[in-house]
Amino acid sequence: MRMRRLAAGSLAAGALAGLVLAIAARAAELVPLPPQPAGVPYPTQAWPEAAPGAGVDAGRLNAAFKSAFTAKGRGGVPDTRALVVVHHGAIVAERYAPGFGPQSRFQSWSMAKSITQALIGILAREGRLDVNAPAPVPAWRAPGDPRGELTLDQLLHMSSGLANADGGLGTDTFVTRLLFGEGSRDVFAYASEVPLIHPPGSFWDYSTATSMILAGVVGRTVGGGREGMLAFMRGKLFGPLGMRSAVPEFDAAGTFMGGAFVWASARDWARFGLLFLRDGVWDSARVLPVGWVDYARTPAPAPNNGVYGAQLWLNLEPKQDQFKPLPGGPASAISVNGNDGQMVVIVPTHDLVVVRLGAMQASTWPSVTGDVAAAVAAFPPLVAQE
């Protein structure tokens, strides 16, 4: 145990140094995040709406929208139920499947992970959490427990080394037990009371449970149980952004189900995307700390990762068993993804946010990302670098 702890400690230090180096190395590569255009209000109250401006290929945009609503699932309902494009801070294209509209709330699935990430960022800005410090998880605090070294940074990077990865697509997997089975009554305990199977920081593995741990840490830092967490989320994130439709869901123990369960309208998901596009600043007030979005869009340093940042996806080169979130799209794109083709795609080089929500009954990930990439391709890049 002591050997493992020492090994874990030195590896954690190594990973931290690696992180600093990785950020330094990539800082030069990160394309700038575009500012809100002068005269365009933030959509805290209502979304500004505009016609697609000069340089936008309207025919291509229409074709992408038409294609997105072609695949129809059970009951003849299009799989794409909401598609919204925000360009230069204004909605320039928006369409819903029959039975859905701007007021409809849609399920996040894993897009909730990025909400949880933003909540960690807010607490980091307030000095209430340090992402490079060991994560305050009660189950790991016994002396000599190797998990006691695990940092929030490693959790945010899906590189904890814990035996709690989602575990494939079957019916009875870690993630289905966590969300709907024996783990669902207390997700924080179920997610965290597992052994390490890799040294912390050394191995990337997608884990909804890890996001539940992060959500549990936020809840315990904020205090006040379910109501305290709800008040924090509304006061610090949903309220300032005007995400009035957002509904976070909880387990019976009062932990925010931050790995999978937030509901919000397409327009509110677009507000969340715009926060990242604007570097965490909203209408002259800073929501996320300085450098947080750059941290989020820098790949996790684990050697088997190419496309995952801090609780969101990057359109870079995937390693084995990973996938590129937006094939054919700009490398600068950041993607907030969820099961069944939920996507909030943020494209700094084009000053764009594209939101696609719905089902995946007749469509596939390649068809969904193909439609989103086609919509992005209708817009001109800000600078000729991609």
Interface with other proteins, residue 247, by CB under 8 A: yes
Tokens 């080089």 correspond to 349
Interface with other proteins, residue 74, by CB under 8 A: yes
* CB closer to other proteins out of 183 and 301: 183
325-384 positions binding other proteins, by CB under 8 A: 359, 361
Q: Which stretch binds other proteins (CB under 8 A): 70-78, 206-214, 315-323, 324-332?
A: 70-78
* CB closer to other proteins out of 73 and 380: 73
Q: Which stretch binds other proteins (CB under 8 A): 48-56, 199-207, 248-256, 276-284?
A: 248-256
Ramachandran area for residue 152 (φ above 0: left; ψ -120 to 50: alpha; else beta)? alpha
Exactly one of 126, 180, 290, 383 binds other proteins (CB under 8 A); which one? 180
DSSP annotation of 350 reads G
Rg (CA), the chain: 20
Whether the Cβ atoms of residue 147 and residue 162 lie closer than 8 Å to each other:
yes
28, burial (CB in 10 Å: exposed 0-12, middle 13-18, buried 19+): exposed
Q: If binding means CB under 8 A, how many residues of this protein chain bind other proteins?
A: 32
213-242 positions binding other proteins, by CB under 8 A: 226, 230
* Closest distance of CB 183 from other proteins, Å: 10
Interface with other proteins, residue 167, by CB under 8 A: no
Tokens 């897009």 correspond to 111
From residue 161, how far is each of 46, 234, 342 by CA, in Å?
43, 32, 27
Q: Which stretch binds other proteins (CB under 8 A): 20-28, 41-49, 97-105, 372-380?
A: 97-105
* CB closer to other proteins out of 43 and 183: 183
Amino acid present at 246:
A
Q: Per the structure block, which two tokens stand in for 242?
A: 């005007």
| Residue 346 host element (H or E) | strand 342-347
- How many whole angstroms separate alpha carbon 312 and alpha carbon 77? 29
Cross-strand bridge partners of residue 308: 313
Q: Which stretch binds other proteins (CB under 8 A): 32-40, 74-82, 135-143, 293-301?
A: 74-82
Which residues contact other proteins (rule: CB under 8 A)?
Answer: 73-75, 77, 99, 103-107, 171-172, 176-177, 179-182, 184-185, 226, 230, 247-252, 261, 263, 359, 361
